[in-house]
Amino acid sequence: MKAPLAVTMGEPAGIGPDLILTLFAERHRRNLPAFIVFGHAGFLAARARRLGLDIAIVECTPADAGSLFADRLPVFPIAGHVVDRPGDADAAAAPVVIAAIEAAVAATLAGACRAVVTAPINKAALYQAGFRHPGHTEFLADLTAQGGVPKLPVMMLAHGDLRTVPLTIHVPIKDVPGLVTGPLIVETLAVMAEDLRRRFGIAAPKIAVAGLNPHAGEDGAIGREDVEIIAPALALARAGGIDAVGPLPADTLFYPPHWRQFDAVLAMYHDQALIPIKTVAFDAGVNVTLGLPIVRTSPDHGTAFGLAGSGKASPSSFSAAIEMAHTMTMQEA
């Protein structure tokens, strides 16, 4: 029996626990692989009752999760203070949220689980508990660092064959040009190419690279970054064996007949990469972290406090994240 997926509970006041419980209730219909939830068992039982879900929860280790999954929701218990108050984030629960991520990553690194699927977190609450990372991605990079040096974590958004990566992520748009550097482009492309081969089964990945400026700068007439920074970086990447094409005008790159020529797209900033995914798959996109020694996926949405506890949140993105983690680990195997 294959090791289960490790699913982290996420922010208790958000929709993450709702979706986990809903998907477990629908596990047979959706043909989901076995998973174990890292979180607070008592809280999950209370949220299930609130949602009107008749779910038996059993505390166990990953070794027993596969045999229990058919009838009961396996939970690796994380002790602490967690109350069932949808929409009302409580900083007292932050240590449990953090410990759940740490335990899930440790179990996956040890081989007891085969991938981590993370529910959304509320960083404001975590910061009050001493969390000092910009987000999940950077935290996971530190937790999985080998030899004390984390690899560059790369955020990919995926839906079907559309895969986009933002070179820069949560930074003001005015700061983006200064952060677009040749070394970052080359390193990001290397991480993308490696994981596309190893975890997506694409033997010779072809990557499109969007320009920073309108029309990819029009040979320097609309900004110099595309000709002075991006184009030389792509030449270096190609010299290293990476099939990178660009810089290409972003306004036409995401026309379906264009992007379908490529296995992934490297964009220069957050919205340039995320708008295409959110347009075609608002509630079904998956966030994948490349560059880690483990597989990590996540639904492409936040905590949605307004929907928490209502039973109205769509589980489509979370289901897709679980299915993608399963597929990626089967491919890697």
State the pairing for strand pair 35-39/73-77. parallel
92 near 50, Cβ under 8 Å?
Answer: no
Phi-psi region at 215: left, alpha or beta (left = phi > 0; alpha = psi -120 to 50): left
Residues 6+ apart with CB under 8 A from 111: 3
b/e per residue, 302-331, with b = 16+ CB within 10 A? ebbbebbbeeebbbbbbbbbbbbbbbbbee
Least confident residue range of 88-97, 134-143, 182-191, 227-236: 134-143
pLDDT at 213: 97
Give 187's Cβ-side CA count (13 Å radius).
12
Say if residue 149's pLDDT is above 80.
Answer: no
pTM: 0.94
For the residues 75-81, what does the mean pLDDT come to?
Answer: 96
Q: Residues 12-41: pLDDT tens digits?
A: 999 999 999 999 999 999 999 999 999 999
pLDDT at 161: 93
pLDDT at 134: 81
CB atoms under 10 Å from CB of 275, counted, come to 14
Name the average pLDDT for the chain: 94
pLDDT at 282: 81
pLDDT at 333: 58
Q: Residues 34-49: pLDDT tens digits?
A: 999 999 999 999 999 9
Give 325's Cβ-side CA count (13 Å radius).
30
193 near 242, Cβ under 8 Å?
Answer: yes
The span from the CA of 70 to the CA of 65, in Å, is 9
